[in-house]
């Protein structure tokens, strides 16, 4: 019942707003209640520490094929539920009390439906609803960018993200259908994820077939995560999106593709990742290692070249997805634990940065960094909060981002050396190259801070400090990053049992 409340409470609140309930109040009550329930769910799963599914519920809708509206959480999904409820609550808090144009009802309904879609996808135990809930979250994203977005080209951006993510979803759907069809001869007339995983473990699907299906799923999920070179939709979309949508999509919804790789692609295609796609050819592992380096190195350099703060934050979000893919590519429990921790840390930190970016947008006539400067003297509290957010994003020790990245880096070398340097493989080489991303992150983030808050004050700007409410949201998110950074086992012990790690 608790999990059903978490998933459907935002939908109920959105329906209530549509029927005339006060929009902001309904959204605050729903997101606040969900924050409490999400904390309870995460605490219960952590205390159980058995790696099993909890809070399970299921209602069978069809007999053949077996279609079930089912939900449940283990340590992986509980971590992402916790991320979702934190970011949703903060996104609602920073939403404007009055919305110009098409009214505030649609504004808050869209935010709630994005959250509901993400929660449903993370908790679904049925492959059909796993996909359907994610699609539910995409629709309000397009609407919000087109109707309430920023910039003269917001409508074109809304169409671009619609086409890009629509194409990615279709590729993903093709991969899921191929996966289901390949398992059907083995008795797979079911969409239940656990049952399909059990069937896949029987080795009914040829390794070569697994490799090609895995590649299709990688492209589908990768497009939704903004894996290079399917990433060009992300930075413009986040720059044009209203602040709550940027927080929810970059911080939460983007993690769906990574979660799908861990929940569907790897468990159901266990031999596909390292099986050559053709005789003597590349494996999906080889392709993924090259593409994730594209995220970290190429997109990292693109991030350095950005002139506008919102575009820079959007590109940096794309870049950091490469680290999460690197953790998944480790194919060991430590790497996957680091990847889930990275999803949580990145989700909180990028949502915080977009919240502060939105506050600056509302107080300045431009976000072009070269035209700013010296704001630290005028708004020292805002400057301090942005500094904490920037330090977290670039991976300064003490923040969750550092703990997650270092976990991934160590996991990549787990068992690789054994005292013999010749044991280095493609994963380790990719990791060494990926370390340069830490330097790139420091360059673009510190340069942005210098250009905006240091130096001489540009023009006659007299911006106001962030409001007490915005300040409280930022402090909350910084506290989460510091708490899980200094005590990373708060997350790793939650995730670990689901991955077979000791509690």
The owner of tokens 């911080």 is 251
How do residues 77-91 score in pLDDT, each as one tens digit? 999 999 999 999 999
Q: Is residue 260 scored above 60 in pLDDT?
A: yes
Q: Which of 261, 407, 284, 437 is nearest to 335 (CA)?
A: 407
3-state secondary structure of 69: strand
Contact 484, 82 (CB under 8 A): no
How do residues 188-232 score in pLDDT, each as one tens digit? 678 888 888 888 877 778 888 889 999 999 999 999 999 999 988
Q: Count of alpha carbons within 13 Å of 221, Cβ hemisphere only? A: 25
Weakest mean pLDDT among 165-174, 258-267, 372-381: 372-381
Contact 329, 427 (CB under 8 A): yes
How do residues 47-80 score in pLDDT, each as one tens digit? 887 878 888 888 887 777 778 889 999 999 999 9
Beta partners for 126? 192
CA atoms of 44 and 32, how far apart (whole Å): 19
Span 428-441, mean pLDDT? 92
Beta partners for 355? none
pLDDT at 279: 66
Phi first, then psi: give them for residue 414, nearest 5 degrees: -65, 115
Q: Which of 287, 282, 267, 395 is nearest to 331 (CA)?
A: 267
Those residues whose C-beta lies under 8 Å from the C-beta of residue 377, and which sit 6 or more positions away, are 457
- Binning pLDDT at 50, 70 and 90, where does residue 420 land? very low
Q: Is residue 419 scored above 50 in pLDDT?
A: no
3-state secondary structure of 294: helix
CA atoms of 354 and 251, how far apart (whole Å): 9
Q: Can you read off the two tokens belonging to residue 490?
A: 């708060």
Contact 16, 26 (CB under 8 A): yes
Those residues whose C-beta lies under 8 Å from the C-beta of residue 236, and which sit 6 or more positions away, are 157, 160, 161, 311, 314
Helix (H) or strand (E) holding 54: strand 54-62
CA atoms of 215 and 237, how far apart (whole Å): 26
Most confident of 12-26, 59-73, 421-435, 489-503: 12-26
Beta strands in 290-408 (DSSP E): none
pLDDT at 460: 59
Burial of 372 (C-beta count, 10 Å sphere; 0-12/13-18/19+): buried
């Amino acid at each position: 019942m608790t999990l059903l409340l978490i998933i459907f409470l935002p939908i109920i609140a959105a329906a209530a707003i549509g029927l005339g309930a006060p929009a902001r109040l309904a959204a605050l009550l729903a997101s606040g209640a969900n924050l409490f329930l999400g904390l309870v769910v995460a605490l219960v799963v952590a205390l159980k520490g058995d790696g099993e599914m909890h809070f399970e519920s299921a209602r069978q809708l069809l007999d053949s094929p077996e279609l079930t509206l089912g939900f449940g959480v283990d340590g992986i999904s509980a971590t992402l539920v916790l991320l979702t409820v934190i970011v949703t609550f903060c996104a609602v808090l920073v939403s404007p009390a009055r919305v110009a144009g098409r009214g505030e009802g649609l504004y808050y309904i869209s935010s709630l439906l994005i959250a509901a879609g993400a929660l449903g996808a993370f908790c679904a135990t049925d492959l059909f609803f796993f996909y359907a809930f994610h699609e539910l979250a995409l629709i309000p994203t397009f609407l919000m960018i087109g109707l309430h977005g920023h910039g003269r080209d917001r409508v074109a951006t809304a169409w671009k993200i619609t086409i890009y993510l629509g194409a990615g979803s279709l590729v993903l759907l093709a991969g899921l259908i191929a996966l289901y069809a390949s398992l059907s001869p083995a008795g797979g007339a079911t969409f239940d994820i656990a049952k399909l995983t059990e069937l896949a473990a029987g080795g009914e699907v040829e390794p070569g077939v697994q490799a090609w299906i895995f590649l299709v799923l990688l492209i589908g999920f990768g497009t939704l995560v903004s894996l290079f070179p399917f990433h060009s939709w992300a930075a413009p979309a986040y720059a044009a999106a209203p602040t709550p949508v940027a927080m929810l999509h970059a911080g939460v919804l983007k993690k769906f593709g990574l979660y799908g790789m861990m929940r569907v692609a790897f468990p159901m295609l266990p031999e596909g990742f390292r099986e050559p796609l053709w005789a003597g050819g590349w494996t999906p592992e080889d392709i993924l290692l090259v593409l994730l380096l594209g995220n970290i190195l190429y997109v990292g350099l693109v991030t350095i070249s950005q002139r506008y703060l919102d575009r820079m934050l959007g590109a940096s979000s794309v870049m950091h997805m490469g680290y999460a893919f690197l953790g998944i590519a480790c194919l060991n429990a430590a790497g996957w634990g680091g990847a889930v921790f990275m999803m949580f840390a990145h989700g909180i930190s990028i949502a915080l940065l977009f919240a502060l970016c939105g506050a600056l947008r509302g107080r300045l006539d431009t976000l072009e960094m070269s035209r700013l400067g010296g704001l630290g003297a005028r708004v020292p509290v805002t400057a301090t909060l942005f500094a904490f957010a920037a330090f977290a994003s670039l991976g300064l020790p003490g923040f969750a981002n550092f703990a997650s990245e270092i976990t991934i880096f160590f996991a990549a070398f787990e068992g690789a050396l054994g005292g013999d340097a010749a044991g280095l493989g493609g994963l380790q080489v990719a990791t060494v190259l990926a370390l340069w991303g830490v330097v790139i992150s420091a360059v673009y983030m510190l340069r942005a801070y210098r250009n905006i808050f240091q130096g001489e004050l540009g023009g006659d700007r007299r911006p106001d400090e962030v409001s007490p409410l915005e300040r409280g949201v930022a402090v909350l998110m910084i506290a989460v990053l510091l708490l899980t950074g200094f005590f990373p086992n708060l997350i790793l012990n939650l995730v670990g049992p689901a991955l077979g790690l000791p509690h």
